[in-house]
Amino acid sequence: MKKFINRHPNQYGRWVLGILPFVLLLILYVAASNARLAENPNDPLLPSLMQMGDAIQRMAFEPSKRTGEYLMLQDTLASLQRIGIGVGVSALIGLIFGIANGAIPYIRATLSPLIVGVSLVPPMAILPILFIIFGLEELAKVMLIIVGITPFLIRDLQQRTLEIPEEQIIKMQTLGANTWQIVTRLALPQIMPRLLATTRLALGTAWIFLIAAEAIAATEGLGYRIFLVRRYLSMDVILPYVMWITLLALMIDFLLARISRWRYPWFHASS
């Protein structure tokens, strides 16, 4: 028999093995939930699937008794708008300064130390400053995401720009390119797929900052709702919300990956 390290599951086996931990977790949860609820039917910590189903029904498909709005939809749209603007603006700034830093030594010498310094400031520590400057409205939350992920995006894209082979930069010059053309016809198109890849990585961090900002000051949003219902120990709302956030993150990640493969096939084929 082959050594264990040389044995590979077939496609069917991979599916079964991949799903197995999820099923086990679910069984474990249901068993624990049943045990607790058997002792005390009002126990809030591990709600049954039925209770969670009811909570989803209440939050997502029935208008709120107080405001007449669909809360989960409202929360989702508010959060998606914040993260969309925050990540979008960050990506744009990251792209511009990342390429400028990577391609042009004079700009790099001027800005790179500043960006390294700023990237080391813990964004959560300056959240109060953001609230003071930008108020408790949307802008502060978007700003937290921008402050949180932009330095990382700039530094990563700067590095990726520096990795463009010297040969290609020389070749561009022998074809008559000026500095601007080297940036727009060589650096920009080669960095675009890397921007998408880096943005996918930064999205996890962006969600952290979004939920933190919403937890502290908001009137709607997925993070706001979780922290609001925490007061009533409403695990039946919190758990579906967490799963919904995870699903949203997964979908955005998948979407960016598909866009990258669709727009930049050469990047995925050569790397």
Partner 1 sequence: MAMIELKNLWKEYGNDVVLERLNAKVEAREFVTVVGASGCGKTTFLKLMLGIEDPTRGELLLDGEPIPGEPDETRGIVFQRYSVMPHLDAVGNVMLAGELEASRWLGRVFGNRRRKLRDDAIAMLEEVGLGHALDKYPHELSGGMQQRLAIAQALIKRPRILLLDEPFGALDPGIRKDMHELVLRLWKEQNLTVFMITHDIEEGFFLGTRLWVLDKDRLDPQAPQAYGARITFDLPVGREDQKTYESISSRLDTTARAIG
Q: Which of residues 129-168 bind partner 1 (CB under 8 A)?
A: 165, 167-168
* Interacting residue with partner 1 among 95, 140, 157, 186 (CB under 8 A): 186
If one counts every other C-beta atom within 10 angstroms of the C-beta of residue 52, the result is 18
CB of 110 to partner 1, least distance (A): 22
Give the range of 7-15, 85-93, 226-234, 260-268 binding partner 1 by CB under 8 A.
Answer: 260-268
- Does 106 bind partner 1 (CB under 8 A)? Our answer is no
CA atoms within 13 A of residue 168's CA, in its CB half-sphere: 14
Give the range of 94-102, 118-126, 184-192, 243-251 binding partner 1 by CB under 8 A.
Answer: 184-192
Three-state secondary structure string covering the chain: CCCHHHCCCCHHHHHHHHHHHHHHHHHHHHHHHHHHHHHCCCCCCCCCHHHHHHHHHHHHHCCCCCCCCCHHHHHHHHHHHHHHHHHHHHHHHHHHHHHHHHHCHHHHHHHHHHHHHHHCCCHHHHHHHHHHHHCCCHHHHHHHHHHHHHHHHHHHHHHHHHCCCHHHHHHHHHCCCCHHHHHHHHHHHHHHHHHHHHHHHHHHHHHHHHHHHHHHCCCCCHHHHHHHHHHHCCHHHHHHHHHHHHHHHHHHHHHHHHHHHHHCHHHHHHC
Q: Which is nearer to partner 1, 108 or 194 (CB)?
A: 194
- Does 219 bind partner 1 (CB under 8 A)? Our answer is no
* Interacting residue with partner 1 among 6, 40, 42, 270 (CB under 8 A): 270
- Does 23 bind partner 1 (CB under 8 A)? Our answer is no
CB of 193 to partner 1, least distance (A): 9
- Does 175 bind partner 1 (CB under 8 A)? Our answer is yes
Q: Which is nearer to partner 1, 73 or 170 (CB)?
A: 170
- Does 195 bind partner 1 (CB under 8 A)? Our answer is no
CB of 268 to partner 1, least distance (A): 10
CB of 195 to partner 1, least distance (A): 13
Q: Which is nearer to partner 1, 39 or 167 (CB)?
A: 167
Integer angstrom CA distances of residue 269 from 20, 219, 266? 32, 46, 5
- Does 180 bind partner 1 (CB under 8 A)? Our answer is yes
- Does 176 bind partner 1 (CB under 8 A)? Our answer is yes
- Does 265 bind partner 1 (CB under 8 A)? Our answer is yes
Binding site for partner 1 (CB under 8 A): 165, 167-168, 170-178, 180-181, 184-186, 189-190, 264-267, 269-270
